[in-house]
Structure 1
């Protein structure tokens, strides 16, 4: 049995702690998480592997997107194989139009079994009416073209050129 904490990425604390069977696949976990936050579970979603600092890694989509059928999907990922230890983490994105983003962390792994799983054991906060806006800011990369002032050449600066002369 797994105890999993799921935190919605918002300013206000919105947390659910759920108990699930360790043989659950990620598709069933997706539905459990969606329903625990009041969603129907009908929207597209993906899990992303992550490190301890929550850096997003490999995508585990809801459906196999590979052409030859060899790709990964939520249905093919079993919980105890995907998250074998306590403190293992995933990022979960639900509804790609609204980009509800959740942090999923295993907080306890136990050999105990229960009949009535999945089960929500802790609810903190209410989900907002709208998903928080995500701001994707890329790091400023060196483009290889030099500074903006380097446009000058032997013909002078382009801004000084009078195009109406011709």
Structure 2
């Protein structure tokens, strides 16, 4: 079977930037990585990872290009993971991050599963919309938006506390 994906650049520009592509369900996540990088004009030499995602695009389990995990923590590797082990009718979304220095972020969604077409080479770039900007779009993380991180008066500076002065530490003795 052939998986048809739409890969959308996460950006805040006016123009949408996306690619529609086809790939065999039995190909690896590394094959998917390769067609994504090629279709957006990247050389594919930077670090990248896929993340399993839910319907709200929350980042889940990582599928890494290279194993950078600590000893004892097993990470799925792109070259060892078959696409249909991760993506299927019940789990259709991935987040793809390319170049961790610039954080190019893409939303990858399975659009449909079709029969393989005779005479078509896979993976196959079906449709191109929009041009990728010269620089990765800036990311705004939720914590950066919260006022407490930008307002130095909103948090307590513990550097002035005297930890030996128990009477002035404001402990609630009946906290438990």
The TM tier, using the shorter chain, reads 0.7 to 0.9
TM-score (norm 1): 0.79
Residue 69 of structure 1: how far off its partner (Å): 8.3
Contact 1:9–1:101 at 8 Å: present in 2 too?
Answer: yes
Alignment of 1:103-142 (within 5 A): 103-114=107-118, 115-138=120-143
Residue 104 of structure 1: how far off its partner (Å): 0.2
Root-mean-square deviation (CA, aligned residues, Å) is 2.8
Contact 2:54–2:91 at 8 Å: present in 1 too?
Answer: no
Matched, 1:51 2:54: yes
Larger radius of gyration: 1
Q: Deviations over 1:97-156 (max 9, x none)?
A: 11000000000112335541111111100000111111223286xxxxx986xx9xx88x
Structure 1 pair 31–147 and aligned structure 2 pair: CA distance change class (3 A): closer
Secondary structure of the corresponding residue to residue 52 of structure 2: strand
Partner of 1:4: 5
Contact 1:48–1:60 at 8 Å: present in 2 too?
Answer: yes
Structure 1 pair 74–123 and aligned structure 2 pair: CA distance change class (3 A): same
Residue 76 of structure 1: how far off its partner (Å): 1.8
Contact 1:27–1:62 at 8 Å: present in 2 too?
Answer: yes
Partners of 1:71 and 1:82 lie apart in 2 by: 13
Matched, 1:62 2:65: yes
Alignment of 1:1-166 (within 5 A): 1-10=2-11, 11=13, 12-66=15-69, 67=71, 70-85=74-89, 88-114=92-118, 115-138=120-143
Q: Which runs of 5+ in 2 are unaligned?
A: 147-153, 161-166, 169-176
Partners of 1:47 and 1:63 lie apart in 2 by: 11
Secondary structure of the corresponding residue to residue 137 of structure 2: coil
Partners of 2:45 and 2:78 lie apart in 1 by: 14
TM-score (norm 2): 0.74
Contact 2:63–2:75 at 8 Å: present in 1 too?
Answer: no
Secondary structure of the corresponding residue to residue 28 of structure 1: helix
How many residue pairs get matched?
A: 149
Partners of 2:75 and 2:53 lie apart in 1 by: 19
